[in-house]
Chains A and B, each alone.
Chain A
């Protein structure tokens, strides 16, 4: 067993590794990350995860639900550290996995992967507490500067393979029309398939059945395994009908841009992200800051962010960006959503949140997003990036789909919802959480 494998084993037990080894691993990680592009290209299948925030035991739960690395290909959209009690163990484990399996895990930068923010929100203090000095914090911050700013998932299929129901009955038979492909599947708590939607169903969704009636782990109602018609937080709508036709390039799920926060008024193409000089502390403003700080909001155009950094952006901005860049979906994290995930703007953007019972206080569930492989006709995938960002190709697609009003089906998406690990789970050290309230 190599030192690295031993370190992974130790970190999996939620035990910190020696300072010298941290230094070594951070150095190796930097060598790997320095070679990565600002926007890493990632092949589907991939499992996309949102904020972790040092909730180590919940990260273990995530791996239990989503499969272990390297068996599952992972993409983490940042905010590994701060707020939770185990930022150090969580980040170092992910980093060790990156060094050990560089092609099976992608880490992109969140707004908390910053010197300034970690001194306010806990990671700095945690390093001092666990090592007695700021050295480890410094090593980690140096790695933060090299993390990619985004990722582009290519080769995702337009549908997901329906999961079989627990009782052995094929879930497909419960879909409105059995022959339809499943665009969206939600696996709720306990691995139970709670919803499956074909593209046809998705077109019929209206806003009245988007809100989940209650959080599953706290409600006693709702028959397990029942297939409901709506997806929590799903704004899926529009004429995806006909686009699933197997002769068009859209029978792949298209490209999915993953970024921690969102878009920037200074960035109108994915290529512009590639031009940024990312190897620095997160600036207070500018394109790089916006990518890590911005939020989608029900507004027209751009708005000021109440966070004090980044911007708010509306549906028109997302649709235009996706159209110009030939994207079918933007996946981002950054905002707590009680249901674990939330699709907005006709499913053109999704927030994925992977920290259950955030800060040991919020009572939310978490989710991860699985994008499957395209098994039918890999037109776009074979060309890879070149085809995707070829201007000719973009123009051709644009004219095919009537300019700005083009609507495309998103990739097949499977959301796995999970809740917080039991506090005393698996005999690992676990500090009793003392979240703050006003008293």
Chain B
């Protein structure tokens, strides 16, 4: 029997379901993790935890030097932004909320400093959080870090028990200082209540690494509004601000960008907000319009490589491996940006040096 022509060619196959699309986006996390491990292996980054989240079955590919360098700059730039937020003196705890955190290890790296007063949350798809929690449960070192971090505080508070609780069914983890929330980011809109454990009165930093760009522009904007609505009011009364830092692609209009869009779409990955936020100017405008209006900045990764990394460190990086991809590096690096914005008001009574985001205005800025 002849095969009906409508089944004959792959191009006639049904378009991917939304579940399949979600899975593709979730898999980008593993991709980034393998890159992180490659950069660690080569000596760019120090992070003993990344490998603990890598499945035995996942091939540990060694990436090209320019990819290692990009992974390094991305991580280092975010580290600098986070460090600037955390290092400002503040009498109480600060809060970090990582959107689409995936297998990111930032919490574990920060937790090495046991004196840090920090409440850390991660949001991601339940499929992703379950995988992460399984890895944590299998690894004593990771579990111990969560149990021990912030214990100095919880000892004074006799009601809280050291350790952490896991709900395997929903894919959630909670401890006094670290939460993993199984949340589909598309459900976050103005009016949606804050997930359990989040304290809207604390100075709070949101992080999105290649995450919001996969949402529709309206969904991504709604998350911004949800944040500035939920925390903005608190910040007015208590002077504890809220900020956000993004790492994502920009510049889809040139030939490199067009090829990027085409190549990624062949893998089922669509950069949905790229067009709306395609330039550094638009990224800054986005911050301002959506409520992070006290201050904002945006730099491309090439600029950050050239201007944010001190010469001694750059020398170290240059010595790790030959980079025979200089022009390609510049091209690639100009298509990714770090953008940040914050809203923080002076309290009428409190001291001005309690402003957690004050130093964010001191990063070298790129002239556009």
Chain A residues at the B interface, C-beta cutoff of 8 Å: 111-112, 117, 120-121, 215, 217-218, 295, 306-309, 335-338, 357-364, 432-439
- Inter-subunit contact B266/A363 (CB<8 Å): no
Determine if B324 and A357 form an interchain contact, defined as CB atoms under 8 angstroms apart.
Answer: no
The reply to whether the CB of B70 lies closer than 8 angstroms to some CB of chain A is yes
In the complex the two chains form, what is the Cα distance from A271 to B280 in whole Å?
A: 51
Q: How far is A218 from B256 in the complex, measured between Cα atoms in Å?
A: 10
> A361–B327 contact, CB under 8 A?
no
B residues 53-72 with Cβ under 8 Å of A? 63-65, 67, 70-71
Chain A facing B: main interface SS: loop
Contact assessment for A121 and B323 in the assembled complex, using a CB-CB cutoff below 8 Å: no
Q: Find out whether the CB atom of B71 lies under 8 angstroms from the CB atom of A364.
A: no
Using an 8 Å CB-CB cutoff, how does the interface string of B308-351 with A read, 1 for contact, 0 for none? 00000000001101111011100110001000000000000000
Are A121 and B324 touching (Cβ within 8 A)? Answer: yes
* Nearest A-chain residue to B67, judged by Cβ: A436
B254 at the interface (CB under 8 A from A): yes
- Checking B254, B259, B318 against A357 with a beta-carbon cut-off of 8 angstroms, the contacting residue is B259
Q: Is B63 touching A438 in the complex (CB atoms < 8 A)?
A: no
| Chain B positions 267 through 286: 1 when the CB is less than 8 Å from some CB of chain A, otherwise 0 | 10100000000000000000
Interface check B182, CB cutoff 8 A: no
B32 at the interface (CB under 8 A from A): yes
Q: Enumerate chain B residues within 8 angstroms of A362, measured Cβ to Cβ.
A: 255-256, 259, 328, 331
Given A438-B210, A439-B28, do A218 and B328 touch, yes or no (CB 8 Å)?
A: no
A437 touches B263 (CB 8 A): yes
Q: For the complex, is B74 an interface residue (Cβ under 8 Å from A)? A: yes
Q: Which of A111, A363, A437 contacts B324 (CB 8 A)?
A: A111
Cross-chain pairs A/B with CB under 8 angstroms, 20 sampled: A112-B324, A120-B322, A215-B255, A306-B318, A307-B324, A307-B326, A336-B328, A357-B259, A360-B259, A361-B263, A361-B328, A362-B256, A362-B259, A364-B255, A432-B266, A436-B35, A437-B249, A438-B35, A438-B67, A438-B71
In the bound complex, CA of A209 to CA of B23 (Å): 48
Interface residue B20 (Cβ < 8 Å from any Cβ of A): no
- Chain A residues with Cβ under 8 A from B64's Cβ? 120-121, 436
Give chain A nearest CB distance to B336 CB in angstroms: 6
Note all chain A residues with C-beta closer than 8 A to B259: 357, 360-363
What is the chain A residue whose CB lies nearest that of B35? A438
Q: Which of B249, B254, B255, B328 has the most chain A CB within a 10 Å cutoff? A: B255
B255 CB to closest chain A CB (Å) equals: 3
Greatest chain B CB density within 10 A among A117, A215, A307, A363 is at A363
Partner of B255 from the list A120, A338, A437 (CB cut-off 8 Å) is A338
CA distance A364 to B259 in the complex (A): 10
Residues of B within 8 Å of A336, CB to CB, are 327-328, 331
Q: Is the CB of A308 within 8 A of B32?
A: no
Q: Which residue on B lies nearest to A335, using beta carbons?
A: B327
**Smallest CB-CB A-B distances: 4 pairs:** A363-B255, A439-B28, A336-B327, A363-B259
A361 and B256 contact, CB distance less than 8 A: yes
Instruction: Verify B269–A439 contact, CB threshold 8 A.
Output: yes
Question: Inside 8 A of B319's CB, which chain A residues have their CB?
Answer: 308
Does B138 touch A at the CB level, under 8 Å?
no
User: Is A117 touching B322 in the complex (CB atoms < 8 A)?
Assistant: yes
Which residues of chain B are within 8 angstroms of A307 by Cβ–Cβ distance? 322-324, 326
Given contact pairs A120-B64, A308-B322, A439-B29, enumerate 12 new A-B contacts (beta carbons under 8 Å). Answer: A306-B323, A306-B326, A307-B322, A307-B324, A308-B318, A358-B328, A359-B328, A362-B255, A363-B259, A436-B64, A437-B264, A438-B67
How far is B65's CA from A362's CA once the two chains are assembled, in angstroms?
16
Knowing A437-B260, A438-B74, A439-B32, the reply to whether A120 touches B65 (Cβ < 8 A) is yes
Residues of B within 8 A of A364 (CB): 255
